[in-house]
Amino acid sequence: MSALEARLDLQRRRRLGMVEAVWGEHKTAAQIATILKTMHHAGELAFVTRVDPVKAADVQARCPEVQVHAAASCLTLGKLPPGDGKPLVAVLSGGTSDRRVAEEAALALRVHGVTSVPFLDVGVAGLHRLLAVLPDLEAVPVLIACAGMEGALPTVLAGLVPQPVIGVPVSVGYGVSAGGRAALDGMLASCAPGLSVVNIDNGYGAAMAALRILLGRGLQGSGDEASRAQ
């Protein structure tokens, strides 16, 4: 795959304040390695989502500078911005099975220089766990809530806090959970006013929704030179 065949959007940061993310699940290791190198040579931080461990190892063998983020099933090439600023986004998950999606969201934020703070395993099956962390959420401007099963976490959270809440349905659950469709439908049918919902397992999309909110509030500058490849 050549750079022309891939048609990379190298102006996305200038236009939208976002790095282009590359979908890795249905690309070969060779295609991903070529795209990563092209973006890196163009001076852009390269970010690939949905890469399984076998493919990730193959890509790294072709491009040893690639960094594998196993928990998020993602790859990056280039220097990541330091993650030592004040947390602007909280990433919550209903259970540890939702972690990959939550980690994808957190990494996508870090690629853009946004520090996040995780709150894992705070699902409503044990409501006390969520209630216990509410005081820690008060100072965080935007919340991302990842949940499978019936997907109740974002709805409950949006009924308890005033910040924007972005729900991410996760493809975790028995039978009628239908690969995340039950969680998606539940979030879309939520009676919590103002809850935003992205597609199933779309941690990256949730992170970019959060980034747009932050940019709109002037809390995160676009085109941050610190997040470009070095």
Q: What is the tens place of the pLDDT at every residue in 118-127?
A: 999 999 989 9
Q: What is the tens place of the pLDDT at every residue in 125-147?
A: 899 999 999 999 999 999 999 99
Cite the DSSP H helix spans in the chain. Answer: 3-6, 12-16, 29-41, 53-62, 99-111, 127-137, 153-158, 181-188, 203-216
pLDDT at 223: 41
Could you tell me which of 72, 8, 13 has the C-alpha nearest to residue 227? 13
Residue ranges of domains in the chain? 3-79, 89-216
Check residues 8 and 19 and name the one with the higher pLDDT.
19
Q: What is the tens place of the pLDDT at every residue in 176-203?
A: 888 899 999 999 999 899 999 999 999 9
The pTM of this model reads 0.88
Paired residues of 74 in beta bridges: 69
pLDDT at 10: 63
Residues with Cβ within 8 Å of residue 128, at least 6 apart in sequence? none
Distance CA 206, CA 193 (A): 18
**Strands laid side by side in the 21-23 sheet:** 21-23, 46-49, 74-77, 67-69
Domain topology for 89-216? Rossmann fold (3.40.50)
